[in-house]
Amino acid sequence: MRVEQVRYQSDDGLDLVGVLADGSGGSRAPAILVAHEAPGLTEHIKNRTIAFAEQGYVAFALDLFGAHDLGLEEGRAQATAIVQTPGLLYRRARAGLDVLLRLENVDREAVAAVGFCLGGATALELARHNAPIKAAIGFHPGLKRPAGSSDGPITARILMMIGDLDPIVPQEDRIAFAQSMNAAGADWELHVFGGVGHSYTNPDVDRFNFNGFRYNKDADRRSWAMALALLRDELKA
Amino acid sequence: MRVEQVRYQSDDGLDLVGVLADGSGGSRAPAILVAHEAPGLTEHIKNRTIAFAEQGYVAFALDLFGAHDLGLEEGRAQATAIVQTPGLLYRRARAGLDVLLRLENVDREAVAAVGFCLGGATALELARHNAPIKAAIGFHPGLKRPAGSSDGPITARILMMIGDLDPIVPQEDRIAFAQSMNAAGADWELHVFGGVGHSYTNPDVDRFNFNGFRYNKDADRRSWAMALALLRDELKA
């Protein structure tokens, strides 16, 4: 499989570096945009991008920040800035999506956005702005809406998978999410893993010892299976 | 495949008639107890029981009431009586489970309870009383606790799949469910289908034209796939 860095620019002129893993064997194939957590494009995200490619997809990990593998403080500062600047999360996400859509062997009618933490919110923003994606999937996504978020309508299928103990997604955010999805006419699902915290897919999170952040092997495995099942349904039908 | 009626009694002396569909081909096999909706054991429940058997399981649809195919009013009256009499839902459920456990070719270490509407609450009660089941799965289950419900601990894996618009399962019931599952130390998941009402698996419900009750083809198909995936994981591992 080909795995390579791709240099590109956002429309606000920032130099970005994504990672492309093409599992298509060169033939026309469905594609997955992978959006990263607050610390940027890390090994964890690169590994998942390759894992999607191993399922036969063209997978591209976008870069929201123009910098990878940030420290915690810098990651948080970048994440805060991008969600507080109206429309910026969508524009940076769209720049990444456009990299995928320009690839010759990508089936443009079969593209999904998948994200982790901040990346889940990123995938949702693409859906809310009616970008050409068939599905938006979030692993432990933040569900607060960034500044400049659009109200839809949403045609992409939505699946958000959260840990019940995730301090990033309090009950009121779950209810507001449902209301906004209903208002946008979305085909949406919310899956809650009991006893599970934030960042459950990321084995590296435990070393930070944050309250409510914890890797969970079962939730990791189950959420991955649910995502692959949905992607098969929507992209390979 | 063998499909037959099975006559048995509950420990309160009621004559009951369940439906057994044995998809094992006679060999030792995992088993599924199927618990019905408020109208009792209907064609819908019988069809699902056969569908489980077609996956290789020994499937048994229990009878909570001693009567099948009730009218709406009578079904509601029976359901209300069974959840308001302390411990009765569990005892009737256990009588059905014991039919399965007595079958020679059933692998007693690989039994799950699955239910629809009232049947979802029935499967949950088996888990709460620590009956020998590996999983409890609910399709549009009621989540209110019946009289005499036990506090666990719960060792069975729990998956409840609800429609977000289901009037039977208001937000406070979802929160109370999560709290009780956490208190019992359960491995639990709650899946919410957006824009979906009660009884989403049952094509027959639409003719009643109840507010918030509606068949939903997508939720039906997706919840079925999730249930089969969980059952494979827990019973065929």
Chain segment B160-193, per-residue pLDDT in tens: 999 999 999 999 999 999 999 999 999 999 999 9
Give percent above pLDDT 70 in chain B.
100
In this model, does residue A159 exceed pLDDT 80?
yes
Q: What is the pLDDT of residue B185?
A: 97
Residue from B155, B165, B189 whose CB has the most chain A CBs within 10 Å, to mutate = B189
Q: What is the pLDDT of residue A218?
A: 98
From the list B171, B51, B176, the residue with the least C-alpha distance to B116 is B51
Question: Residue A210: which pLDDT band, with cuts at 50, 70 and 90?
Answer: confident
Q: What is the pLDDT of residue B210?
A: 87
In this model, does residue B201 exceed pLDDT 90?
yes
Specify the pTM. 0.97
More confident residue, B208 or B192: B192
Measured between alpha carbons, how far is residue A166 from residues A137, A140, B114 in Å?
Answer: 17, 8, 28
Measured between alpha carbons, how far is residue B182 from residues A140, A164, B185 in Å?
Answer: 19, 10, 5
Mean local confidence (pLDDT), B133-157: 96
The token pair at B33 is 């107890």
Asked if A190 lies within 8 A of B188 by C-beta distance, the reply is no
Asked if A192 lies within 8 A of B192 by C-beta distance, the reply is yes
Question: Residue B77: which pLDDT band, with cuts at 50, 70 and 90?
Answer: very high
Question: Residue B237: which pLDDT band, with cuts at 50, 70 and 90?
Answer: low
**Sign of the torsion formed by the C-alpha atoms of A197, A69, A125 and A30:** negative
In this model, does residue A236 exceed pLDDT 90?
no
Please name the residue that has the structure tokens 């890390």.
Answer: A42
Asked if B192 lies within 8 A of A187 by C-beta distance, the reply is no
From the list B2, B3, B35, the residue with the least C-alpha distance to B138 is B35
Measured between alpha carbons, how far is residue A221 from residues A197, A216, A218 in Å?
Answer: 15, 9, 5
Closest Cβ–Cβ partner in B175, B194, B225 for A188: B194
Peptide bond into A86 cis (omega under 30): no
Q: What are the helix and strand counts (H, E) for chain B?
A: 6, 8
Measured between alpha carbons, how far is residue A119 from residues A17, A198, A217 in Å?
Answer: 16, 13, 20
Residue B121 CB partners (closer than 8 Å, separation 6+):
B83, B89, B115, B138, B141, B142, B143, B144, B146
Mind listing the pLDDT tens digit for each residue in A20-32?
999 999 999 999 9
Measured between alpha carbons, how far is residue B33 from residues A102, B97, B106, B181 in Å?
Answer: 52, 6, 11, 21
Give percent above pLDDT 70 in chain A.
100
The token pair at A27 is 């033939």
Q: Write down the mean pLDDT value for chain B.
A: 96
Asked if B158 lies within 8 A of A194 by C-beta distance, the reply is yes
Asked if A182 lies within 8 A of B195 by C-beta distance, the reply is yes
Asked if B162 is an interface residue toward chain A (Cβ–Cβ < 8 A), one would say no
Q: Which residues of B182-221 are buried (b: 16+ CB within 10 A; e: fewer)?
A: eebebbbbbbbbbbbbbbbbbeebeeeeeeebbbbeebbe
Closest Cβ–Cβ partner in A186, A191, A229 for B191: A191
Mind listing the pLDDT tens digit for each residue in B4-18?
999 999 998 999 999
Task: Report ipTM for this prediction.
Answer: 0.96
Q: Write down the mean pLDDT value for chain A.
A: 96
Mind listing the pLDDT tens digit for each residue in A108-121?
999 999 999 999 99
Please name the residue that has the structure tokens 């009289």.
Answer: B147
The size of chain A, in residues, is 237
Residue A29 CB partners (closer than 8 Å, separation 6+):
A22, A23, A56, A57, A58, A105, A106, A107
Give percent above pLDDT 90 in chain A.
92
